[in-house]
A = this chain, B = another copy of it.
Amino acid sequence: MQGKKKVQITALAGDYIGPEIMAAGLKVLEVVGENGRFDYELHEVPFGGAAIDQTGEPLPQETLSACQQSDAVLLAAIGGPKWDHAVKRPEAGLLEIRKKLNLFANIRPTVIEEAMQQYSPLKNGKPVNFVIVRELTSGIYFGTPRQLDENYALDTMRYTKEEVQRITRSAFELARKRKKHVTLVDKANVLATSKFWRRIVAEIALTYPDVAYDACYVDAASMKIISAPQQFDVILTENLFGDILSDEAAEITGSLGTIPSMSLGSSGPALYEPIHGSAPDIAGKGIADPISMIRSVAMMLANSFDRADLVAQITTAINAVISKQIVTPDLGGNASTTEVTDAIITTIKESR
């Protein structure tokens, strides 16, 4: 009898704290998978600054191929001062991998549960639970023409109907599994692209009569994320607005080091990564919070491999460890990356 083909996972550790938290995530993955619980084959390949140092390119062909041939991609974090004045920049690799894997939907949860209220910078003590669905492969990030001359510069924000349609459907499908409410965030009182989004999204909204739909200007949204985050369920927005608002949203949780994200295409592997960067200031100190990476692993198990059972083990363990205050300095504790990871692993083992 021929064995089932193992799932293929590619890991991109990246730069600064990237390898530290990737190691933590992979250790947890190994433990939840052990004894045949989840079989996978792992490919660890260079990406970002690390890849520039080795090959001159932030996304070498063999890294791209490994990702394309995988069922899922884990990414830790890339970039940092080391490459600030390099010809090639790690960030270019990030934009390229999004485009090449066609990862058009970036999904970031913003959750403040009871136990995490203490970390939130907001007085508002009510629970928060919304998701930002950010368009990731178009808009002003990729639009042409783009010009940088001596006396002027320009960027182009550009969207096609199809680009708006597919991300809109992702948002409405997601809302159906949640609180059934989509808010489009745009700047339709000024931008042509926003008027375009509004027209297309309103049309698609009609085909989801079970999902409530409204729209909000981006400046107003940046206020509501602070004053009334409870009003949101699924925020749908274009690339640049999503970049700004999703970081703002992360900040209201006060626990950046614990938040995962996923980027999806319509086929091919999805990519899972912490929402924070490579944190050069704490790299090498062994104090990076591993939770965002471990949660990214859990998100992968849930979304790419439908393993709710394993996700429950990981999530329960993370919550237990946090409530025991075994946490890194970003959450006010003094545990190390390894101590937090090991505490989570011990809890997982005890639970089965």
Which residues from chain A sit less than 8 Å from chain B, CB to CB? 79, 89, 91, 95, 120-124, 140-141, 143, 146-148, 150-161, 187, 189-193, 195-196, 218-220, 222-223, 225-227, 240-241, 243-248, 250-252, 254, 256
Contact = CB atoms under 8 A, between A and B. Distances in A.
| 10 closest cross-chain pairs (CB), A and B | A153-B196, A222-B248, A219-B247, A223-B251, A148-B192, A154-B158, A155-B157, A226-B251, A153-B193, A152-B160
B193 A220 contact: no
A124 B120 CA distance: 10
Contacts of A241: 244
A240 to B, nearest CB: 7
Given A122-B122, A187-B240, A251-B223, A158 B148 contact: no
| Highest count of chain B CB atoms <10 Å: which of A143, A146, A153, A189 | A153
Nearest to A160: B152
Contact of A195 (B120, B148, B159, B247): B148
Nearest to A84: B189
A32 to B, nearest CB: 31
A226 B196 contact: no
Nearest to A240: B187
Given A192-B147, A223-B250, A140 B122 contact: no
A217 to B, nearest CB: 9
Contact of A222 (B121, B143, B154, B251): B251
Given A161-B150, A251-B227, A189 B91 contact: yes
Contacts of A219: 243-244, 246-247
Given A227-B251, A251-B222, A252-B226, A192 B244 contact: no
